[in-house]
Amino acid sequence: MRLIRVGAGVVNQTALDWSGNQERLLAAIEEAREAGVQVFCLPELSITGYGCEDAFFSPDVARRALAMLPMLAEASQGMLTAVGLPLLYQGSLYNVAALLGDGEVHGMVAKQTLAGDGIHYEPRWFKPWPSGVVRAVEVGDELINFGDLLFEVDGVRIGFEICEDAWVAQRPGASLAQRGVDIILNPSASHFAFKKQQIRERFVLEGSRAFHTTYVYTNLLGNETGRAIFDGGPMIATCGKFIASGRRFSFKPQLVIAGTVDIDLTRMARVRCVGAQCDLGDSLSEEGVVPIFMEFAPAKAEFSEAVQTRFYSKEEEFTHAMTLALFDYMRKSWSRGFVVSLSGGADSAACATLVGLMIDRLARELGPNAWPTMASYLGFKPGTPLADIKQALLFCVYQGTENSSETTRHAAETMAKALGARYSVWEIDPLVRHYRGFIEGSLERVLTWEQDDLTLQNIQARVRSPGIWMLTNTLNALLLATSNRSEAAVGYATMDGDTCGGLSPIAGIDKAFLREWLCWMEATGSEDSPPIPELSVINAQAPTAELRPLEQTQTDEADLMPYPLLDAIERSAIRDKRSPVEVRVEMGERFSQYSGEQLDVWVRRFFQLWSRNQWKRERYAPSFHLDDENLDPKTWCRFPILSGAFKAELEELG
């Protein structure tokens, strides 16, 4: 047996937070040392943070990152540590992983496949490195090998696949396997999306099996820069089996996993493959192999059953991702909690519930004494009761008008109490009448529902904004906007009304799923997030804006169309880029319970409202990226503010 102790560390970094990022990297290295790790992998671009955006164009960013390497190398005495950073070389920027140890920078491997789809814009900042090319770069007073490298230390060969490298058909791992690699390290910055972890697990397992190697995967953790969420989830696999895996969505600043692997075992698997006449190709060249002159102390034998990773349901992933994102957004923006204008409907109830679940997770995982800087600026002292923490971090306000029903008033109060939030009721009719008087005086006529429906609806939503902003500013808190993705698609929201806020957490999730999640939270929940029966007062209602007189019985779906249909049209038209005629054919097949004439109306309405309301989507507060159907024009779904509005295409509907 040739036993090596390998480890993977996830860290919750912040873009350009030099001292904080350094502190967490050092803490992870020390934790790995205590676990006896000899080869340790930290995430992609974890020195700078992954989401530096156009700050990557600043030469100072690359200089500061490079300057941190000697200190991290010194901290890696007796072990090898891989860490990610940007590297400026001959007028181009490269995304690299440096291998450090015993005070030395042994070499840097450059990423060959850049992520340029969805929310990723790596080709804007970085250049891909060509396979098989090796150069030298100055680090301090030393010339360091750089490029497509394989490292050999004490007879053990170590190679890299950097994040996207493992997601493509021509993986670098195949070439590394032909060169006899023993351990492949994958430092990643892979954003969260529903069910994405299952894909990661497949390429980690398949990499370890097909390449006859030990595969060490790690990832960033948390809401790094505002929109993207990283879920962590480190994994170690050997010969097609997991031997260690770590928690996803942790609130901790860093987390380390470790496992002992038998290099002889993977090599014998390769021998058996060769015996079965596997094609090794022609690339057995020793060029690009960097020798490291250190020895691995014998690792202690570990015999354990293969690890079974846990799959979360979509509802569980949503809960964990959103609560982690809210926690990080709060502390990284130095906000002292959240304010929600609680309407008694599904959207604001979902936002408040997520904050409540975030506070429960905070207390359970960290407690008021953890992350001292956070606890100190929030003012929590040792032994602070959870009820007091909830009152401090969540303030809900119901802003009622003459069009507000007793149903929503009761629902808002019930939810605020269930969540332990601080709660107030404001009657805003005097403000509505005041503004109405201004306009009627200027126009010299009375505003009526028959003639001025939209105006009279919008003023109620907009007049709620100044007071709730004033409260938020006074508390130094973060105001949550409550619009969802279905509403964003068709502009069914009042700008500077229900869209006002510093963060729009549910703008990336469709209304149909949001309602399903609220029902799940009412009746089922999970081990980490117990059910909240009081949500029954929300789930029993038909969604309504409550902006028209009560006798008109306004509902969202009557104004728009059934939400499941709206979401299906959005996916077909926007995600799949189908024409109105193609969308209409698909909807006719999927929603045969509706007449053809009615489907014509709804498909036409969607395309018209989508085109007309791009300007609203441009103005939404930042939202969280949750899946690959996001409508955020700044990171995912670009559409012109002014366009032909599908006029010719809609004429084809007849």
pLDDT tens by residue, 617-642: 999 999 999 987 889 998 889 999 99
Q: Which amino acid is at 498?
A: D
Return the pLDDT at 279: 46
Residue 545 predicted with pLDDT over 90 = no
Residue 575 predicted with pLDDT over 50 = yes
Return the pLDDT at 631: 92
pLDDT band at 281 (very low <50, low <70, confident <90, very high): very low
Return the pLDDT at 546: 76
Return the pLDDT at 282: 43
Return the pLDDT at 275: 46
Q: How many helices (H) and strands (E) does the chain have?
A: 23, 21
**Residue corresponding to tokens 């990284």:** 332
Residue extents of the structural domains in the chain: 3-292, 314-556
pLDDT tens-digit profile of 31-61? Answer: 999 999 999 999 999 999 999 999 999 999 9
For the chain, the average pLDDT equals: 93
pLDDT tens-digit profile of 7-32? Answer: 999 999 999 999 999 999 999 999 99
**Residue corresponding to tokens 């791992």:** 173
Between residues 306 and 321, which one has the greater pLDDT? 321
CA triple 428-443-453, angle to 5 deg: 55
Residue 306 predicted with pLDDT over 70 = no
Q: Which amino acid is at 385?
A: P
DSSP state of 119: T
pLDDT band at 543 (very low <50, low <70, confident <90, very high): confident
Helix (H) or strand (E) holding 256: strand 254-262
**Coil, strand or helix at 239:** coil
pLDDT, mean of residues 452-476: 95
Nearest C-alpha neighbor of 82 from the set 20, 153, 133 = 153
Residue 31: exposed, middle, or buried by beta-carbon count in 10 A (0-12, 13-18, 19+)?
Answer: middle
Instruction: Give me the CATH code for the 3-292 domain, please.
Output: 3.60.110.10
pLDDT, mean of residues 580-603: 96
Return the pLDDT at 284: 41
pLDDT band at 382 (very low <50, low <70, confident <90, very high): confident
Between residues 629 and 79, which one has the greater pLDDT? 79
Cβ atoms of residues 605 and 580 within 8 Å: no
Residue 505 predicted with pLDDT over 50 = yes
Structure tokens at 547: 């902006």
Helix (H) or strand (E) holding 26: helix 18-34
Return the pLDDT at 283: 43
Least confident span in 225-239, 298-312, 576-590 = 298-312
Return the pLDDT at 228: 95
Least confident span in 133-137, 372-376, 580-584, 637-641 = 372-376
Taking the alpha carbons at both ends of the chain, their separation in whole angstroms is 74
Least confident span in 85-89, 130-134, 307-311 = 307-311
pTM (2 d.p.): 0.94
Return the pLDDT at 149: 96
**Residue corresponding to tokens 């036993």:** 3
pLDDT tens-digit profile of 637-653? Answer: 999 999 999 999 999 98
pLDDT band at 616 (very low <50, low <70, confident <90, very high): very high
Rounded to whole angstroms, the Cα distance separating 434 from 430 reads: 6
The whole-angstrom distance between residue 631's C-alpha and the CA centroid of its chain comes to 15
Residue 303 predicted with pLDDT over 80 = no
Report DSSP letters for 172-235, one per residue. HHHHHHHTT-SEEEEE---B--TTHHHHHHHHHHHHHHHTTSEEEEE--EEESSSS-EEEB--E
Rounded to whole angstroms, the Cα distance separating 172 from 602 reads: 48
Return the percentage of the chain with pLDDT > 90, whole number: 83
Fold annotation for 314-556:
Rossmann fold (3.40.50)
Return the pLDDT at 556: 85
